[in-house]
Structure 1
Amino acid sequence: MSVLGKINHFRRGVMRNLTKNIGKSKLDGSIFLVDKNDVKRVLICRPNGRLGNLLLITPLVQEVSEMFPNCKIDLFVKGTLAPIIFENYDHVAKTIHLPKKPFKSLGEYFSVWISLKRQKYDVAINVDQNSSSGRLATQFSNAKYKFYGDLINEEESPKSDYDHIAKYPVYNFRNYLSKLGLKTSNKIIAPLDLKLSTSELLEGKKLLASMTDESKKTICIFTYATGTKCFSENWWEDFYAALKKEYNTYNIIEILPVENVSQIAFQAPTFYSKDIREIGSVIANADLFIGADSGIMHLASAVHTPTVGLFSVSNLKKYEPYDNCSIGIDTNTVLLEDYFKIIDSILNNGKLKYYSKAV
């Protein structure tokens, strides 16, 4: 770990210890929401700018929108991706975003925090209970009801999928609302959702058609990931060779990262774009996505293409793609031939979409 990495790790540890008890003393159940229809303004705090982490809050945004049908939602985030991701979310009014490098933009940094006090909210929600900045933002907000992301009733048996980072914020929020006297949903947690428009899907179909044989089904691969999550070139070259042999009647294309690199030396037809929604529209028209744990893996899940996530170091139960035949594979324990059994099963079951494939 670099010196800067060690400093950041130490800083995060200190901040967690300082903020872990913020809000806990106020969870006494002495106040109650009278009518969910009276909730007009909601603040959701997830001060993180990574693509994957922002996509992973879309189930909570959907839950809040359904629970409070008359509300408008502000998102307290970091960076500039959130407006792009939540472009088609009718309930999302605006994003309040911290600069990526606060020490280089101190004036902007402090003005963002001050803006939390200027807007009155009915409810403020911290997404991740372990986020120091999220807890502070919730505490600092001008909101009547403040939820800090904790599981209120710890005696309640958690769901079997509780460990997933997109799901436990929803379960915890439901738990909090029930403590306030509201009837909550028992529905399964919503999938990640980029909410692509019909025109975006049609454009994605055209882009995909320009690089493939339209008479064949298409498999997208993404060979990049950050840090230790990235598989070696040798691993990917062996996997790609086996995949190409096993699925010789399929189109296989590689989605390239913003760094414009390939772990298979650009052997497959490639698609490159810096536009997240455009990348999503192409993947949405494919029949399967395969890639390591990354923001693009979560993007594939968010456009409802069956997704095979390859995990070697990340916590699979916490980050695996779910819904629509998606699955996470522990590459440390699963053999290559078993990958193809899993892929066959997904491809044979077809593609169950939440919106129709572009035609």
Structure 2
Amino acid sequence: MKIPNSVNVYRRKIMRFITKNVGSSQTEPKFDANTQVNIKKILIIRPNHRLGNQLLLTPIVQEVINTFPNCEIDLFVKGGVAYPVFENYKQISTIFQLPKKPFNHLFKYVKCWILIKRKHYDLVINGDKNSSSGRLLTQISTGDYKVFGDVNDTIKLKYTDYEHIAKYPVYNLRHYLTKLGFSDNRSEVPTLNIKLNESEIQKGKKLLKDIVKNDKQTICIYTNATGNKCYSENWWHTFYTRLKNEFENDFNIIEMLPIENISKINFKATHFYSKDIREMGAIIKNTSIFIAADNGVMHLASASLTPTIGFFSVTNENIYKPYGNGSMALNTNTTTIDDWITEINKILR
């Protein structure tokens, strides 16, 4: 049974209202020199099925591993993309995977919650402060220390980029740990990372070579996105034409097709199609720049450690922009096509 989108909107609003104060009574831990803090078993919660949101979880997973190298991590997620995203994270022990449509798989949904409740964790981290189910699960889980995800005012004053959905969980954890006696970590927040291995990268290199059939560097574009984040065919045709005029002599320009196998430029560029997330990432890894609107594949490109340009028009780039590896966000409401070409040229040349 398909739940109407309008019903889901109201359901989310009601759940957020009900759970907004869950964890608010949680006081910050107090440091006790006589108490040994031993954190080995960790639960990270992010019950969202979208590819982008799974990839945006990778920085907090890396932060936990960097802080506790000998830890064992359980993930509580939703949908089927977590396995390929975290395949090469050896510290991850178990992935509790909620069904994408819980109302259709109520037994499996409840079973996941019961399994979590039965386990004991040294540390529980809610990866999204706006997730109602994430807050509830953090509350009911059995853990010595719990980070619910609310952004502390101290963090807001200290970091200008605290809004970013992949960064604030890291800042929250660092702040929380200082209350347990850990030193203040001011290093750069880890970038998104799907952790491609050398074999995957070499396979991606061969696949790309088979596509372009030359040794020039490659620009990769992705013209699809969900809902109103998706730019029109006219917009993409205008941009693609300008891109060709500026760079076609020196660079290949290819298009990665979405799972729907559609193209906003009517397949005018050399294109390729894959449903394999890691294969897609490996091909992107071997390109010089990836250009797309705000969407999950944009985050996949960023997680493949390729310079990524994300076009934003309706979503807040401060929350979702690609970062690291020379990546950047461009708000198309306040910039022009000349600005976009200038930034692309800086990365390429």
Query: Which band: TM-score by shorter chain?
Result: over 0.9
| CA drift at 1:31 | 6.4
1:210: which partner in 2? 210
d(CA) in 2 for partners of 1:56, 1:110 = 26
Q: TM-score, normalised by structure 2?
A: 0.95
d(CA) in 1 for partners of 2:76, 2:281 = 24
Q: Tell me the alpha carbon deviations over residues 47-72 of structure 1, each in whole angstroms, 9 at most, x when there is no partner.
A: 00111001001110011111112210
d(CA) in 1 for partners of 2:295, 2:235 = 17
Q: Tell me the alpha carbon deviations over residues 88-137 of structure 1, each in whole angstroms, 9 at most, x when there is no partner.
A: 11211111011011111111111011001222111111011111111111
1:155–1:270 distance in 2 versus 1, CA, 3 Å:
closer
Q: 4+ residue runs of structure 1 moved beyond 6 angstroms?
A: none
Give the secondary structure class of the aligned counterpart of 1:73. strand
d(CA) in 2 for partners of 1:346, 1:295 = 22
d(CA) in 1 for partners of 2:260, 2:32 = 50
| CA drift at 1:26 | 2.1
| CA drift at 1:175 | 1.1
| CA drift at 1:32 | 5.3
d(CA) in 2 for partners of 1:269, 1:300 = 18
1:280: which partner in 2? 281
Paired letter, 2:261: N
1:223–1:40 distance in 2 versus 1, CA, 3 Å:
same
User: Aligned-pair RMSD on alpha carbons?
Assistant: 1.6
Give the secondary structure class of the aligned counterpart of 1:262. coil
| CA drift at 1:214 | 2.9
| CA drift at 1:8 | 1.4
The answer (yes or no) to whether the contact 1:39–1:70 under 8 Å persists in 2 is no
Paired letter, 2:234: N
Alignment of 1:321-332 (within 5 A): 321-332=322-333
Paired letter, 2:243: L
1:32–1:199 distance in 2 versus 1, CA, 3 Å:
farther
The answer (yes or no) to whether the contact 1:153–1:175 under 8 Å persists in 2 is no
Paired letter, 2:304: V
Paired letter, 1:202: Q
d(CA) in 2 for partners of 1:192, 1:304 = 8
| CA drift at 1:184 | 3.5
1:225: which partner in 2? 225
Q: Tell me the alpha carbon deviations over residues 223-277 of structure 1, each in whole angstroms, 9 at most, x when there is no partner.
A: 0000000000111011111111111221111001111110001111111011000
d(CA) in 2 for partners of 1:155, 1:205 = 41
1:292: which partner in 2? 293
Paired letter, 1:313: V
Give the secondary structure class of the aligned counterpart of 2:130. coil
The answer (yes or no) to whether the contact 2:72–2:92 under 8 Å persists in 1 is yes
Paired letter, 1:47: P
Paired letter, 2:121: Y
2:255: which partner in 1? 254
The answer (yes or no) to whether the contact 1:43–1:125 under 8 Å persists in 2 is yes
Give the secondary structure class of the aligned counterpart of 2:77. strand
Q: Tell me the alpha carbon deviations over residues 178-225 of structure 1, each in whole angstroms, 9 at most, x when there is no partner.
A: 123322421010110000010000000000000114321100000000
d(CA) in 1 for partners of 2:243, 2:131 = 40
1:81: which partner in 2? 81
1:163: which partner in 2? 163
1:156–1:47 distance in 2 versus 1, CA, 3 Å:
closer
Paired letter, 1:192: L
The answer (yes or no) to whether the contact 2:125–2:147 under 8 Å persists in 1 is yes
Paired letter, 1:326: S
1:337 partnered with 2:322: no
Aligned length: 345
The answer (yes or no) to whether the contact 1:311–1:328 under 8 Å persists in 2 is yes
Identity percentage of aligned residues: 51
Paired letter, 2:192: L
1:138 partnered with 2:141: no
Paired letter, 1:237: H
The answer (yes or no) to whether the contact 2:31–2:179 under 8 Å persists in 1 is no
The answer (yes or no) to whether the contact 1:151–1:175 under 8 Å persists in 2 is no
1:154–1:6 distance in 2 versus 1, CA, 3 Å:
farther
d(CA) in 1 for partners of 2:202, 2:280 = 13
The answer (yes or no) to whether the contact 2:28–2:176 under 8 Å persists in 1 is no
Task: For structure 1, list consecutive stretches of 5 or more residues without a partner in the other structure.
Answer: 349-359
Give the secondary structure class of the aligned counterpart of 1:161. coil
1:153–1:233 distance in 2 versus 1, CA, 3 Å:
closer
d(CA) in 2 for partners of 1:155, 1:320 = 19
The answer (yes or no) to whether the contact 2:155–2:162 under 8 Å persists in 1 is no
d(CA) in 1 for partners of 2:199, 2:162 = 35
| CA drift at 1:4 | 2.3
The answer (yes or no) to whether the contact 1:74–1:96 under 8 Å persists in 2 is yes
d(CA) in 2 for partners of 1:154, 1:325 = 28
Task: For structure 2, list consecutive stretches of 5 or more residues without a partner in the other structure.
Answer: none
d(CA) in 2 for partners of 1:28, 1:338 = 45
The answer (yes or no) to whether the contact 1:225–1:293 under 8 Å persists in 2 is yes
Give the secondary structure class of the aligned counterpart of 2:324. coil
